[in-house]
Chains A and B, each alone.
Chain A
Amino acid sequence: MSQTVTTVSTSRFGEISYSEEDVLFFPRGIPAFEKNLSWILAGEEDNAIKWLQSVDDGDLALPVTTPDAVMADYNAKIPEDDLDLVGSRNVGDLVLLIVVSIPESAPWDTTANLRAPILVNLKSRRAVQVIALNEEYPIRCPVFPEDVRENMKLSATMKEGV
C-alpha cells in the first residue's frame, strides 16, 4: 500500500505532515466553514484539547475535546440522518467531539458546545457536526467550575505582575 504524505503549513503548529488516512472528511463541511471538507485532528499528547485543523486553510483550526471532559454523563441523541451520513450505527465505530470556544483574553470563560457535537465514524473517517436532539444541552456550557475559574483569573493577573 502506498501512503502519500502531504504537508500543510498551519499558523498554530507550523508544518504538519499527514497521510490520507489521517483526514476526517466532512461531506457537509462544518457550519460557518461549509467549503472546508477535509480536516485533520492535530494536537499534543498531554493536552485534552485537540485541534481540528483544516487542510485547505492553514489558518483555520477549531479546538475540540471529548464530551466527558465537560459533562460526565453526556448522552447526545443523534438524528438518524446524521448516522446515515457517516455510515454507521455501531457505537463502537463512532466517537463524539465537542467544539470548545476559548476566549483569548479570558481562557477561564472557555465554553463547550454540547448541543452540536461532531460525530466521527472511526472506520470510514467521515464526520459531521450534528444538532443533538437533547434540547437541554447548552451551546455555551462553561467548562470550568466557578472556583477553578477564580484560580485561573488570579494566576493570570499574578503572571502579568511579574
Chain B
Amino acid sequence: MLVLSRRLNESIQIGEDIQVTVVDVRGDVVRLGISAPQKTQIWRKELWDAIVEENRKAALAAAESSKRTVTAPQLPVSTFSKLSKLKTVRPKKTTKVDKEKTEKADKTDKTDDEE
C-alpha cells in the first residue's frame, strides 16, 4: 500500500480527475474532501464490507437450509407479477421430498427419473 503524509489543506491526486484533500484534522478524526467525476462511486469502506458480509451470510444460511427440509418463509404472492417479467428457471423437482426420492431412485434405477 502506498502511504503518503499530508498536512491540512494538502491534497493527493488519483489519476486524471480525482483529488482528495485533507479538510480537517481533529484528534483521531480526519475529514477528507473528495473531488471526482459524478459517476465515480465513493463509499465508506464499512458500508461495502457490510454488504459483502450480508451476501455471505445469506448464501451460507441458504446452503445450510438446502441440506434440510426447511420451508422458506412466504412473502406476499402479489410480488410475482413483477418477478414473472424475469425469466425464471423452474426446477423439475419441486419439493425436497421429491428430490430425495429421485436421488434414491438414481442410485438404484435410472429409468423413472425422466418425465
Q: Which residues of A contact B (CB under 8 A)?
A: 10-18, 21-22, 30-33, 40-51, 53, 59-63, 65-66, 68-70, 79-81, 84, 95, 97, 99-104, 107-108, 110, 113, 115-116, 120, 122, 129, 131, 139-140, 143-144, 152
**Complex alpha-carbon distance, A17 and B39, angstroms:** 38
Q: Please, which residues of chain B bring their CB within 8 A of the CB of A48?
A: 74-77, 79-80, 83
**Closest-CB distance, A10 to chain B (whole angstroms):** 8
Partner of A42 from B65, B75, B89, B103 at Cβ < 8 Å: B89
- Contact string against A for B residues 38-63, beta-carbon threshold 8 Å, 1 for contact and 0 otherwise: 11110100011011111111110111
Q: Please, which residues of chain A bring their CB within 8 A of the CB of B86?
A: 41, 95, 97, 120, 122
Q: Please, which residues of chain A bring their CB within 8 A of the CB of B87?
A: 21-22, 41
Given A62-B59, A62-B62, are A31 and B83 also a contact pair (CB < 8 Å)? no
Q: Please tell me if B85 contacts chain A, counting CB pairs below 8 Å.
A: yes
**What 7 pairs between A and B have smallest CB-CB spacing?**
A13-B91, A48-B75, A12-B66, A101-B58, A48-B79, A69-B79, A32-B55
Q: Please, which residues of chain B bring their CB within 8 A of the CB of A41?
A: 86-89
A131 adjacent to B47 (CB under 8 Å):
yes
Given A32-B55, A99-B55, are A11 and B83 also a contact pair (CB < 8 Å)? no
Question: Is the interface on chain B under 10, 10 to 19, 20 to 34, or 35 or more residues?
Answer: 35 or more
Q: Please, which residues of chain A bring their CB within 8 A of the CB of B21?
A: none
A143 adjacent to B73 (CB under 8 Å):
yes
**Complex alpha-carbon distance, A143 and B103, angstroms:** 34
A101 adjacent to B63 (CB under 8 Å):
no
Q: Which of B8-16, B25-33, B92-100 is the interface stretch? A: B92-100
Could you list 17 A-B pairs, sorted by A, with CB under 8 Å?
A12-B62, A17-B92, A18-B89, A21-B87, A22-B87, A30-B55, A31-B52, A32-B55, A41-B89, A42-B89, A44-B90, A79-B41, A84-B39, A95-B86, A99-B58, A101-B54, A102-B58
- Nearest residue (CB) in A for B96 is A12
Q: Please tell me if B107 contacts chain A, counting CB pairs below 8 Å.
A: no
A31 adjacent to B55 (CB under 8 Å):
yes
Q: Please tell me if B72 contacts chain A, counting CB pairs below 8 Å.
A: yes
Given contacts A31-B51, A110-B73, 5 further A-B contacts (CB under 8 A): A21-B87, A31-B48, A79-B39, A101-B61, A107-B70
**Closest-CB distance, A50 to chain B (whole angstroms):** 6
**Complex alpha-carbon distance, A108 and B73, angstroms:** 7
**Closest-CB distance, B104 to chain A (whole angstroms):** 12
Q: Please tell me if B7 contacts chain A, counting CB pairs below 8 Å.
A: no
B41 adjacent to A61 (CB under 8 Å):
no
A131 adjacent to B53 (CB under 8 Å):
no
